[in-house]
Amino acid sequence: MRTATAQAQHVEPPPCAKADGSAGVRWIVNAGSLHHSVSVIPIEQQQRYFGSPCTFMVGKLKTPPYVQWNAIGTISIRSASEIDRCCDEGVGAVMYDPEKWQFTPEEEQRNPGEYACKIADLVHAQHRLLIVAPAADLVGGGPDRFDRFLRAKIAGSVAKCADVYEIQAQGAELDARDFASYVRRAAQQARRANPNIILLAGISTNPTGRSVTAKELFACVQAISDVVSGYWLNIPAGGAACPTCGEPKPEVAAELLQMMSAAGR
């Protein structure tokens, strides 16, 4: 991993506002997932939701037609060493996604905050934004992993050096009360460490292959709309990063977006 060669500077995220001046919804989306969802979410509709600087778009620079959109080009890294290959021109944000998987070295799994701050020095020296998205499974599995994650103070340790903290709460979304409780507690911990942090929450159309309805996702979104600025909309497919995810469910995402739009979100 390189060290910063220039003095790190604070990087301001672009404003995110609706036409009437009220706050817009920020998103993280994957261009590849959107590309494979065109039959369900037409490209014009996708652009309406995600074609602005409110959106951090992972894979934007490699996936037509998204290259031309006004979304923020974003790359996702799963280990600190990957920062050595960053970044192409047009990348405005880097997302550090440490999890308990083969892509994140064990030392980083044990000390995600330390490595997030090292990455922040490099990213900010390049005048780019840093998003941190540590998974709750860094403390192991089981239904109490969210509580153990918070007791380990990981939310605060990664948020203190970052610009955006994405709370990976999608594993709790089948119960909106549990989902909201975790997001609120993680948000509080993150804001104590960094009052300027932008907070997003993770939602998924098929979290680790489980079935979820758009109505259930909308309940989660509504339960935390006063806490976060937006969401990481995951439309995962089975693969090395998520072997249990199964087939993607873009139809769930399409229905959720319609529900949010009808509610003025």
User: In Å, how far from its chain's centre is CA 194?
Assistant: 17
At 154, which amino acid appears? I
Instruction: Specify the residue for token string 């301001």.
Output: 12
CA distance 164 to 200: 7
Residue 135 contacts residue 172 (beta carbons within 8 Å): no
User: 203 forms bridges with which residues in the sheet?
Assistant: 233
Average pLDDT over residues 198-224: 93
Domain boundaries, the chain: 26-262
CA distance 222 to 168: 17
**pLDDT per residue as tens digits for the range 214-242:** 999 999 999 999 999 999 999 988 777 77
Average pLDDT over residues 163-168: 97
- At 3, the pLDDT band (50, 70, 90 cuts) reads low
Task: Answer with the residue of higher pLDDT: 92 or 245.
Answer: 92
CA distance 80 to 86: 11
Q: Is CATH 3.30.1490.20 correct for 26-262? A: no
Average pLDDT over residues 250-254: 96
Residue 83 contacts residue 1 (beta carbons within 8 Å): yes
- Confidence (pLDDT) at 35: 94
- At 24, the pLDDT band (50, 70, 90 cuts) reads confident
